[in-house]
Amino acid sequence: MQYISTRGQAPALTFEQAMLTGLARDGGLYVPDTVPTLTPAQIAAMAGKSYEEVAFDVMRPFIGDTFDGATFKTLIANAYAGFGHAARAPLVQLDSNHYLLELFHGPTLAFKDFAMQLIGQMFQAALSRSGDRVTIVGATSGDTGSAAIEAFRGLAAVDVFILYPHGRVSEVQRRQMTTPTEDNVHALAVDGDFDDCQAMVKNMFNDFAFREAVKLAGVNSINWGRVLAQVVYYFTAAVSLGAPHRQVSFTVPTGNFGDIFAGYIAKRMGLPIADLVVATNRNDILHRTLQTGAYTKEGVAPTISPSMDIQVSSNFERALFDAYGRDGAAVAGQMDDLKSGGFQISQGAYQMLKDTFKSGRASEDETHQAIKTYRQNHGELLCPHTAVGVHVAEAHLGPTPMVTLATAHPAKFPDAVKAASGVTAPLPPRMADLYDRPERVTRVAGELAAIQAVIRERIS
Ligand SMILES: Cc1ncc(COP(=O)(O)O)c(C=O)c1O
Ligand SMILES: N[C@@H](CCOP(=O)(O)O)C(=O)O
Distance of CA 92 to the CA centre of its chain: 21
**Following DSSP, what letter does each residue of 273-315 receive, concatenated?**
EEEEEEEE-S--HHHHHHHHSEEE--PPPP-SSGGG--SS-TT
**Ligand 2 test: best mutation among 23, 109, 113, 140, most atoms within 8 Å of CB?**
140
426 is a domain residue: no
> Does ipTM come in above 0.90?
yes
453 is a domain residue: no
pLDDT at 346: 98
pLDDT at 169: 97
pLDDT at 269: 98
pLDDT at 238: 98
3-class SS of residue 443? strand
- The catalytic position among 112, 202, 267, 358 is 112
The CATH number for 241's domain is 3.40.50.1100
Name the residue range of residue 280's domain. 87-107+225-421
The CA distance from 396 to 287, in Å, is 14
**Phi–psi pair at 217, nearest 5 degrees:** -135, 155
Confidence category of residue 367, pLDDT binned at 50, 70, 90: very high
Distance of CA 88 to the CA centre of its chain: 17
207 is a domain residue: no
256 lines ligand 2 (CB under 6 A): yes
pLDDT digits (tens, 9 = 90+) for 312-355: 999 999 999 999 999 999 999 999 999 999 999 999 999 999 99
**Ligand 2 test: best mutation among 149, 220, 259, 305, most atoms within 8 Å of CB?**
220
- What residues line ligand 1, using a CB cutoff of 6 Å? 110, 143, 253-260, 307-308, 385, 407-408
The CA distance from 383 to 360, in Å, is 18
The CA distance from 265 to 263, in Å, is 5
280 is a domain residue: yes
CB 154 within 8 A of CB 178: no
DSSP state of 408: B
pLDDT digits (tens, 9 = 90+) for 275-304: 999 999 999 999 999 999 999 999 999 999
147 is a domain residue: no
Confidence category of residue 460, pLDDT binned at 50, 70, 90: confident
76 is a domain residue: no
Single-letter amino acid, residue 418: K
pLDDT at 58: 98
The CA distance from 19 to 61, in Å, is 15
267 annotated active-site = no
Helices then strands (H, E): number in the chain? 19, 15
pLDDT digits (tens, 9 = 90+) for 65-96: 999 999 999 999 999 999 999 999 999 999 99
Q: Which ligand is nearest to the CA of 218?
A: 2
Mean pLDDT of all residues in 92-110 = 97
Q: How many CB atoms lie within 10 A of CB 171?
A: 13
Distance 134 CA to ligand 1 centre (A): 26
288 is a domain residue: yes
Return the residue whose CA atom lies nearest to atom 8 of ligand 2: 220
457 is a domain residue: no
Task: Please give the number of the atom of ligand 2 that sits closest to the Cα of 259.
Answer: 7
Confidence category of residue 405, pLDDT binned at 50, 70, 90: very high
> How many separate domains does the chain show?
1
pLDDT digits (tens, 9 = 90+) for 219-234: 999 999 999 999 999 9
Q: Is the dihedral of CA 419, 164, 199, 106 positive or negative?
A: negative
CA angle 345, 351, 356 (to 5 degrees): 110
